[in-house]
Amino acid sequence: MSDKSVTEQIARRRYHGLYLSRQCPELVELSRELLGLHCWFHRNVAFSALIRGADISGWKSALTKTWLYRGTLHGVAYDELPRLLSLHRGESWLRRFYSERMITEIADEVLRCMEDGITSRAEMRKIFAYKYEPKVVEAMFSPWGGIFVHLAGLGKVAFKDMTSRNFDLIDAEPAETAADVLPDLLRRYLKAYGPATLDDAAWFFGFWRDDKKNLQNLPLDEYGRFELDGRAYYHCGEPDGLGDIPALTLLSGFDPVIVSYTERSAVLPSEYKSRVILKSGICLPTVAVDGKVAGLWNIKNGEPVVEFFGKQPKRTEESALDLVDGIRQGIAGRL
């Protein structure tokens, strides 16, 4: 098989696995299949679901918003949390700067506050300001998560719902080790995201260099593989009903087909990367033509907006606006 044919096969299989060339009508099932839906901005979950054909009725409470791999927020099925959290059980960046004793002390106090009905980060900052130094309070109650990321990793805290900034107590403590869950999670990753390299999987799951070896030591003979540019791309065999890549596709902000791989040029041409992925790390909603990003889309002041990076046929521009307008109608009154 030529390199061009392999590249086409990889692209078609990814579009299939990520529900970009077929539909998944049920939101929670979509989240299970994709191992969570990226939601640094909560509306991207609604965008991603509608693009993939899912019904978003009741979406704010259908999924649980919490921090997962790479320290990013995802919307996940609640019963998946113990297993997904087991991948990095007990890890916390706070340990680089603070003692285990201090982290445990503050975490326990936070849980007591929540048991008393205090669920706002802002309220807790005021309470803890009386006892701890300002730099400690700033770190523990940082807008990036702080102590709540730590507690979320222990399966004790999550956001109240997909759009809330406040927190709830939960009971989803990870009970397995990374070694226990990794074989199954890799299989699920390759089913949805494959063909993918082990570096892709390591990036997706947030593994550092030493952790990558755990992937290399897994039995890989059960997977199919493509060879391209000296790299092995693993997949879970022949998918049913593999379709063609649509001529026009909307992609959500932080869409899985863009952010889940180390090499993105197959979908995101290098000349457009800085216009799609900002210096802040934000990945904007995009329009793909024949599987390659060719512009941006959004809903501004209640109206669909499309900006192509280069000239496109009028029919393509009109079709893109129609697709965005469909998303606009789908989210009306639901965000």
Q: Domain for residue 273, yes or no?
A: yes
The whole-number pLDDT of residue 123 equals 95
Amino acid making up residue 217: N
The whole-number pLDDT of residue 146 equals 95
Q: Which of 64, 82, 60 has its CA nearest to residue 73?
A: 64
Phi, psi angle pair for 333, to nearest 5°: 75, 10
Residues of the chain with pLDDT under 70: none
Q: Domain for residue 317, yes or no?
A: yes
Burial class (CB in 10 A: 0-12, 13-18, 19+), 136: middle
Determine how many CB atoms are found less than 10 A away from the CB of residue 68: 23
Q: Domain for residue 57, yes or no?
A: no
Which of 110, 135, 153 is a domain's end point?
A: 153
Q: Domain for residue 172, yes or no?
A: no
Domain count of the fold of the chain: 2
Q: Domain for residue 29, yes or no?
A: no
Q: Domain for residue 80, yes or no?
A: no
Q: Domain for residue 291, yes or no?
A: yes
The whole-number pLDDT of residue 198 equals 95
Task: Give Cα 185 distance to the centre of its chain.
Answer: 15
Cα distance between residue 90 and residue 124, in whole Å? 23
Both structure tokens of 220: 């890989």
Q: Domain for residue 279, yes or no?
A: yes
The whole-number pLDDT of residue 61 equals 96
pLDDT in tens, 89-117: 888 889 999 999 999 999 999 999 999 99
For residue 111, the enclosing domain spans 91-153
Determine how many CB atoms are found less than 10 A away from the CB of residue 99: 10
Q: Which of 185, 84, 229, 75 has its CA nearest to residue 194?
A: 185
- With H, G, I as helix, E, B as strand and everything else as coil, classify residue 64: strand
State the angle between helix axes of 209-216 and 178-193 in degrees (0 to 180), rounded to the nearest 10. 80
**In the block, which residue shows the tokens 């902000």?**
253
Judge whether 56 and 46 are in contact, CB under 8 Å: yes
**pTM of structure:** 0.94
Determine how many CB atoms are found less than 10 A away from the CB of residue 15: 22
Which of 108, 124, 153 is a domain's end point?
A: 153
pLDDT in tens, 159-182: 999 999 999 999 999 989 999 999
